[in-house]
Structure formats: structure tokens, C-alpha cells
Structure 1
Amino acid sequence: MRSEQGGPGERKRVKAARARRPFWKELPLLIVVALVLALLIKTFLLQAFSIPSESMQDTLQPGDRVLVDKLTPWFGSKPERGEVVVFHDPGHWMKDQPTPEPGVVQKVLGFVGLMPSANEKDLIKRVVGVAGDTVECKGAGPLTVNGKPLDEPYVFPGNVPCSTNPDAHFKVTVPKDRLWVMGDHRQDSQDSRYHRDEDDKGFVPVDDVVGRAIVVAWPLDRWDTLPVPDTFDQKGIGKAAAAAPTAVAFAGAVPLVMVRRRLLSRR
């Protein structure tokens, strides 16, 4: 006897037909799903960026690929001292650096975040001062924040923390919603120090920050995390805002509480 439509026999035939479907027919759908997921990850979670220069040595080397956290700013977090951040060119910092024309493949992969975008003019530096901080450099250094000299082990070997170039000496107070950034390779970094005559006076708007670099992902033999150095925990510097951990913890706790309540109600 034939089973009724929608019965166990019919469902078995449908499953068997699906199992016999050639893989190449499923492949386009799998590619579309993968690209959509990659685009969502790039937009809201993580994005890959390529290190173009020596300005962050020895922390980062030219050609390194870093993953940038784009999630925590959604929870109200702002960059803190010591973080390595990627930010859009706030003015004309890269006016003398032409952007190479990317190929079709790189455009597509860069769009979905599987490769660093080749046509975006982004920079990567370390945050030294946040809103309200007074940052100062005299002579060879050390660099001071709110009058406290910093011990900076990440500065490129052989470099001085400030500069022997008088044009690079400064004392600034960081305005609201702005950052003061510097490269770890102090004698080879065109950072905030060298853009004080521009409209933003060398300060980077917080809104221009793409996110914090958290991991060196490539090459594999250089895989490492990028934590905030202990130097920025020194007493006397002052405490920067840290809204993100609380917000992220809260957002992660809500689903767990709901699941726990559902399990308890079933019992």
C-alpha cells in the first residue's frame, strides 16, 4: 500500500532524493552563505588588516596581518591608552602615499573581509593619550602622560622614546573625543607629533577608529596577541574608561540566564 502524501514513506523518498543531489548543485548556495557570513563578521565582529610600513616595529612587522575587534565599540567602548588601534586617515596623513589599484579578486575578498582592503587609507598606531590627558615629550624622553614618565619596553630597540628632532617635541592636552597616537618605531613613524599644523592638530577623532588590533594572525610563525602593556597601569597616570568589558559581559550573560530559566521551568 502506498503511503499517504506527507507520510513516513514520502518523507523518506524526499530525504533520499536530497542525499543523491550532486555536490556541485549545493556549492553555489554554500558560497553565498559563506560570503554573507564573512561580510557580517567584517562589519560587526572582526576585520583583517595588513601592516604596510615599519612604523610599529618591533611590535608589528611589514606584511603582518592583524585581526581588529569591531564588536566592543557597539557597546559604548572607547579606545584606551596602550591599545593598538586601526583608524581612518583623519586628514592628510597619507597624502604622499598613493594607494595601489587592487585586482578584482582582492576587491571581492577585501569587501567581505577575507583579505585586507587595498583601497582604504587606514593607519595603525598605539594610543598614548585619551581625552583630558596631558602628553609631553622633551628631548630624547621619556614620554610623560599627566606628568608621569612612562617605561615603554615596546619602543623599537635603539630608538629614544621621544626624539632628537626639535620639531617632534610637544606638550598637548587631548580634547574630548580625540586620541593622541604614536608608533612604536618612534624615529620612523609619521604619527600625531608630525600633524600638529593640520586641522585636527594631530589628534585622531574617536569616530575614525575602526577598532582595536587584538591578534597577529599571519604569518603563522608570528601569531601573537596584542595586550595593553603594563606601563599604562602605573599609578598617577589616571584611569581610562573601560565600558566594553561590562557591556560585553552583560550581553553574554543575558542568553545564559534565559536558558537557565527555561531549563528550570521544564524541571
Structure 2
Amino acid sequence: MLIGIAAVITALVVTFIGRPYVIPSQSMEPTLHGCAGCTGDRIYVQKLSYYFSDPKPGDVVVFVGPTDSWNRHYRSIRSTNTAVRGVQNFLSFFGLVPPDENDLVKRVIATGGQTVKCCDEQGRILVLDDEPGATWQPLDEPYIQTSNPDRNNPFNPERPDIPFNAGGRAFGPVKVPAGNLWVMGDNRRESADSRYHMDDEYQGTVPISDVRGKAVFKIWPLGRIGFVRSEDPQ
């Protein structure tokens, strides 16, 4: 009886309050550690904040890939054995097995109504608010792993047609639709973020409805335990 009650409570917590996730890649270095074949950070992602408000610039969020562009390389982590897959799906309700979906973690850079582009003469991302008299504002991003590639090579205003290049340099401008987010990894050279998906139906932005929660704490390994801080770059 007690085991059953504990299982129900655990399932409710995972469904409505939050759950752990594993960082699979280096796209959020140095904030979150991960790489192929290494022990990635385990983070706790809570859902409560976004029941009452939308994600804000600087939040580190986990979201499911919203379009085929984001999910083209995803392969199911479930067993092909029907019985084993059923057990995996069951355990997922209790947070013991990851959900079978392409969950990604990035930082919110711009929100609905704002326009975002790269870059100014110092290589900084620029954001424009959707209000009369607004001007382009450069972002202050102390959390990034590396400065924008070619930081000393000013953005070329004569080539505004360049949407994005392999070095991660110029993109935009992109106006973020209402209810969506522009997200980027802190490790800009190693992050297939909104910049890589501007040809999809959302121009690379992520609907808030696809956000699973806000990363708030690193729970493993022991040497990495600590808070995941939101740092508003605007």
C-alpha cells in the first residue's frame, strides 16, 4: 500500500512539478557539462515557474524539438523489444527512465515580439524590442563559452543576405512570433540552436508550449552540484 502511494506521488511530481534530465552534448558549456562518451551533468528541471509566467531572457530551458528540422537526427532510446519498451515507458512516468523524445537544453535569448540578429561591430547579439522608438540593444553575455567567431571582424552591413554560416557568425534579423522563444547554446561554436533552423515554419524559434521546464539545479556528479543561474543578457 505504501509503495503504491509513493509511486503515485512520484508520478505526480514528475508530471506536474519537475524531473531530472541528462545533458548529452557540449552545447551549453561551461554552464552545463556534457559530451559524447562522458558523464554529462544531471540537472533538475522544474515546471512550476512557467505555470504562472512565460520564460524570460536568460532562463536555461529544456524543450522538445518542435519541428522535423530539430529532430532529424533523433533516434528513439526505447528498446525494439515490446516488453522491454513497455517497462521503459512505465518507468519514465516516475522519472527513472528519460522520456522518449528529443529534449534539448538552451538559453532564452529573445522572446515573443522581439527581433534578434547578429552582430554589431564587437560581435555581440542585438535585440530590438517591439515598441515605438526602440533601438537595437547589444547583449551582455558573461556565460558564453567563446566569443562569437570572427569577433574582430565587424559584421558586414553590405551582406545582410547572409542568414547564417558554418562559423556561427551572421544571422537575422528574425522577429520572434508571440508565444515563441529564440534560444541559443552558451557554447556558440558547438550548438545547433535557433540559428540552424531558420528555414523551418517557426524561423528557428521554439513555441513556449514545447518547453518542458526551467533548469534550476545540477544534481550530479558531486563535483558539479550547484544552481543553474538565469542571467538576463538584455
**Taking structure 1 as the reference length, what is the TM-score of the superposition?**
0.69
| CA distance 1:230–1:129, change in 2 (3 Å) | closer
Q: Deviations for 1:100-145, whole angstroms, at most 9, x for unmatched residues?
A: 335666544322124433x121111100000111211038721112
Q: In the alignment, what sits opposite 2:31?
A: 59
SS in 2 for 1:112: coil
5 Å-filtered alignment, 1:98-117, equals 98-102=75-79, 106-117=88-99
Matches within 5 A, 1:76-91: 77-91=53-67
Q: Any gaps of 5 or more consecutive residues in structure 2?
A: 35-39, 129-135, 152-163
Matched, 1:68 2:68: no
Q: How does 1:62-211 map to 2 (within 5 A)?
A: 62=34, 63-75=40-52, 77-92=53-68, 93-102=70-79, 106-117=88-99, 119-138=100-119, 141-146=123-128, 147-157=136-146, 160=149, 165=167, 168-211=170-213
Question: Which amino acid is the alignment partner of residue 72 of structure 1?
Answer: S
Aligned partner of 1:198: which letter?
A: D
Alpha carbons of 1:205 and 1:231: their partners in 2 closer, same or farther (altered >3 Å)? closer
Cα deviations across residues 216-246 of structure 1 (Å, max 9, x unaligned)?
A: 11112111111221533xxxxxxxxxxxxxx
Is 2:1 aligned against 1:39? no
Q: Structure 1, residues 163-204: CA drift from partner, whole Å, max 9, x if none?
A: 773775221111111110001110111111111111111011
| Runs of 4+ deviating beyond 3 Å | 102-109, 157-168
One-letter identity of the residue aligned with 1:149: P
Count, aligned residues: 202
The letter of the residue matching 2:176 is V
Larger radius of gyration: 1
* Match of residue 224 from structure 1: 226
Q: Quick check: 2:167–2:189 contact (8 Å CA) kept in 1?
A: no
Runs of 5+ in structure 1 lacking a partner? 1-28, 233-267
Q: Which of the pair has the greater relative contact order for Cα pairs under 8 Å at 6+ separation?
A: 2
State the 1:79 CA deviation: 0.5
- What amino acid sits opposite 1:171 in the alignment? P
Paired residue type of 1:67 = Y
More helix by share: 1
How far off is 1:159 after superposition?
5.4
Check whether the contact 1:88–1:208 (CA below 8 A) recurs between aligned residues.
yes
> How much is the aligned-residue C-alpha RMSD, in angstroms?
2.3
Q: For residue 130 of structure 1, what is the amino acid of its counterpart?
A: T
Separation (CA, whole Å) in 1 of partners of 2:170 and 2:97: 35
Aligned to 1:202, what secondary structure does the other structure show?
coil
CA pair 158-165 structure 1, distance change in 2 beyond 3 A: closer
| Identity percentage of aligned residues | 43
Q: Which one has the bigger strand percentage? A: 2
What SS class does the counterpart of residue 37 from structure 1 fall into? Answer: helix
